[in-house]
């Protein structure tokens, strides 16, 4: 769906904002219930009553980040949304799209100046900071009174993951709340040309023979593309617990936090990557390339790249690359973690002069398909046309580069209410809900590390990581030469102190959530 539903976009945005915000809180939560399958519409009772909460008209300002240019028809779309909200909750909506590069700074300026702001998107990298600095208000009582349909749409295990010190400040946006199944996306034409048995690929080591076949027979094609993302971005066997300075191996490990960089699994994976690099299976500029591996394959330069497979991933990668692909999974299970759950959250600004009305609108965003589709696709007939009852296409003569309104599914609070693009699986959202419900829950699901006590160490560790992680994980250098040096510098930068603090907080969280 025109890159807009690409999960990688979320990952890139999170990385871009990591430099703007520092996580700084911990959470206590528990619970696990199945979400309601059917949306029930907006909070009509609140809008149709004479309740004082809706007596006076109110304009709700909703801010969100934007990748690329801001769509020229935002005003038209917000006016259509306002027609619905005016009738149901006596409120109009002002959409405030902000360029991703200026998003954090602009929100800080708005908050500090007291500028009108009601509802805005936070990412996992900024959520704790927003709460600790008092920019978000507590939502528990508002959800209880005005957000019944919202809470019915989100499994309580995931909703409660957003609680900090037992209180809710942000509502997770609907998405795949899992790590996905790590896998390798390969060009289907070459798989078939060389009779590659995809079913025999179960581990990293099984890829050696596959890559050798491509190298021997396709001299102009590099077997594996590595660039802006490296395989370890998708190939994970641990809960990173916010960041990777202290992880939970196998998403359990008896809740014992370990140094990832000293584990045998990490060393073995590095050795595999370096073996591939020496064999010519990886592009020579892997450590410095800023290209997406999918773009490398699209350009005909590479055969394969790593992905985290979720519902719709294969179709999305095919659209992105313009090539028929096959994905070979490298694991059997997908895991739900706090980091994945809290990738996007919607909260109410402390600047809001009407939190009640704002919560009513947030409730509608999670329960009203008409609003959800307006926010994602725009206006029917102008920005999209129905391909089927549940899918859409661009109008004749219009594409992603010329359409007047374009948004991304991860920016819609509840994208499960929206139409799919015509080439996506018709049951994409049901598959996503099923994956969330059936995924293996990390033993630390709900734990959110408060980095404040070790923020200086985190900064120092980030500086060390910048020097070593990419060159090691791209396979460019021999881990025998640099891994010990990397770990020594991590220790000098304070990784043991960070792990001890993380373990202390995790133990306290576990005790509070027995």
pLDDT tens per residue, range 330-368:
988 889 998 888 888 999 999 999 999 999 999 999 999
What pLDDT, on the 0 to 100 scale, is given for residue 50?
39
Contact between 331 and 180 (Cβ < 8 Å) = no
Contact between 419 and 392 (Cβ < 8 Å) = yes
Residue found by looking up tokens 């890829």 in the block: 207
Architecture of domain 179-333+451-514: 3-Layer(aba) Sandwich (3.40)
For the cut 50, the answer to whether the pLDDT of residue 392 exceeds it is: yes
Domain ranges for the chain, please list them: 7-23+34-177+340-441, 179-333+451-514
Indicate the fold that domain 7-23+34-177+340-441 takes in CATH: D-Maltodextrin-Binding Protein; domain 2 (3.40.190)
What pLDDT, on the 0 to 100 scale, is given for residue 235?
86
Q: Please give the mean pLDDT across all residues of the chain.
A: 86
For the cut 80, the answer to whether the pLDDT of residue 459 exceeds it is: yes
3 vs 131, more confident: 131
For the cut 60, the answer to whether the pLDDT of residue 29 exceeds it is: no
What pLDDT, on the 0 to 100 scale, is given for residue 51?
64
Instruction: Name the percent of the chain lying above pLDDT 70.
Output: 90
CA 90 – CA 110 distance, rounded (Å)? 25
In this structure, what DSSP letter does residue 16 have? H
Q: Which pLDDT band, with edges at 50, 70 and 90, does 2 fall under?
A: very low
What pLDDT, on the 0 to 100 scale, is given for residue 315?
85
**Choice among 121-130, 239-248, 297-306, 368-377 with the minimum mean pLDDT:** 121-130
CA 314 – CA 233 distance, rounded (Å)? 17
Q: Give the count of beta carbons closer than 10 Å to the beta carbon of residue 305.
A: 25
What pLDDT, on the 0 to 100 scale, is given for residue 125?
66
CA 88 – CA 149 distance, rounded (Å)? 15
pLDDT tens per residue, range 219-278:
999 999 999 888 888 888 999 998 899 999 999 999 999 999 999 999 999 999 999 999
């Amino acid at each position: 769906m025109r890159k807009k539903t690409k999960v990688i976009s979320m990952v890139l945005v999170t990385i871009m904002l990591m430099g703007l915000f520092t996580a700084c809180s911990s959470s206590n939560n528990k619970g696990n219930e199945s979400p309601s399958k059917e949306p029930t519409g907006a909070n009509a009772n609140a809008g149709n009553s004479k309740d004082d909460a809706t007596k006076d008209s109110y304009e709700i300002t909703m801010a969100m980040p934007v990748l690329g240019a801001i769509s020229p028809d935002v005003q038209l779309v917000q006016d259509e949304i306002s027609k619905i909200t005016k009738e149901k909750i006596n409120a109009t909506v002002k959409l405030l799209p902000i360029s991703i590069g200026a998003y954090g700074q602009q929100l800080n300026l708005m908050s500090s100046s007291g500028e009108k702001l009601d509802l805005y998107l936070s990412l996992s990298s900024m959520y704790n900071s927003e709460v600790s600095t008092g920019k978000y208000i507590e939502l528990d009582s508002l959800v209880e009174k005005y957000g019944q349909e919202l809470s019915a749409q989100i499994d309580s295990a995931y909703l409660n993951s957003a609680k900090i010190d037992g209180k809710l400040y942000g509502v997770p946006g609907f998405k795949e709340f899992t790590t996905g199944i790590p896998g390798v996306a390969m060009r289907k034409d070459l798989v078939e040309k060389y009779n590659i048995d995809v079913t025999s690929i179960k581990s990293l080591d099984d890829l050696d023979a596959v890559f050798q076949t491509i190298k021997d027979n396709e001299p102009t094609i590099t077997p594996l593309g590595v660039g802006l993302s490296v395989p370890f971005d998708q190939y994970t066997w641990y809960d990173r617990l916010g960041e990777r300075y202290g992880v939970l191996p196998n998403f359990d490990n008896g809740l014992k936090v370990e140094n990832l960089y000293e584990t045998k699994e990490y060393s073995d994976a590095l050795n595999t990557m370096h073996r591939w690099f020496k064999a010519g299976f990886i592009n020579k500029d892997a450590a410095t390339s800023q290209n997406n591996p999918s773009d490398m394959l699209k350009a005909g330069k590479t055969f394969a790249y790593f992905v985290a497979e979720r519902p719709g991933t294969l179709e999305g990668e095919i659209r992105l690359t313009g090539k028929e692909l096959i994905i070979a999974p490298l694991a059997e299970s997908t895991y739900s973690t706090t980091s994945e759950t809290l990738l996007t959250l919607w909260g109410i600004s402390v600047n809001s002069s009407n939190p009640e009305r704002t919560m009513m609108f947030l409730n509608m965003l999670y329960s009203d398909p008409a609003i959800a589709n307006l926010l994602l696709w725009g206006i029917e007939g102008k920005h999209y046309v129905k391909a089927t009852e549940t899918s859409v296409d661009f109008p004749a003569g219009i594409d992603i580069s010329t359409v007047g309104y374009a948004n991304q599914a991860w920016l819609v609070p509840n994208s499960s209410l929206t139409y799919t693009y015509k080439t996506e699986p018709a049951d994409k959202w049901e598959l996503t809900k099923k994956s969330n419900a059936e995924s293996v829950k990390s033993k630390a699901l709900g734990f959110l590390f408060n980095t404040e006590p070790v923020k200086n160490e985190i900064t120092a560790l980030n500086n060390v990581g910048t020097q070593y992680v990419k060159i090691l994980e791209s396979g460019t250098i021999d881990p025998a030469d640099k891994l010990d040096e990397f770990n020594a510098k991590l220790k000098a930068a304070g990784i043991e102190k960070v792990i001890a603090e993380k373990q202390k907080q995790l133990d306290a969280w576990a005790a509070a959530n027995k």
